[in-house]
Amino acid sequence: MAPPLATINHFASDLTASIDLSVLQERLTNMINLDDIVEVSYNKNSGFVWVKQKKSKVHQFHAIGRSVSYDTEVTAFVEDRRMRKLIGVKSKELLLWITISDIYIQDPSSGKITFGTPTGISRTFPVSAFEEEDKKVKN
């Protein structure tokens, strides 16, 4: 079945180390650290993003002291300053892996980003913690 007209698909052969889709770079950088990406799909009309990687990954964000697990398939609806209905991302709290379902920046001037769970519990961190992490990875 052919993808809807507003869907952009990229496969591993089309991808560079940093994803070449400007919309994904704008909205997903620093939040989703994926390796060995096999496929990326983005539906412009709905904002639905689907990223598939070869194997699941656990990444340590040192600035916030959290481990984050990324499944082989990560999906979300991407909006301005928000990712909702996120699937495939979990954060480790004490000894438990907690599913992350929403990531949003309510007020850009506050410098805070909030991560929410399906149960309504959320945690807020400084956006700079993820920017610093990204700069260290690039160097």
3 state SS for 90-104: EEEECCEEEECCEEE
In this structure, what CATH number is given to the domain that contains residue 104?
2.30.240
Q: Is residue 2 part of a domain?
A: no
- Domain enclosing residue 119, as ranges: 7-138
pLDDT digits (tens, 9 = 90+) for 71-116: 999 899 988 888 899 999 999 988 999 999 999 988 888 889 899 9
b/e per residue 38-74 (b: at least 16 CB within 10 A): bebbbbeeebbbbbbbeeebeeebeebebebbbeeeb
> Residue 2: its pLDDT value, please?
42
Q: Provide the β-strand partners of residue 50.
A: 41, 75
Q: Give the residue among 19, 31, 20, 74 at the shortest CA–CA distance from 50.
A: 74
Count up the domains in the chain and report the number.
1
Residue 71 within a domain: yes
**Res 3 pLDDT > 70:** no
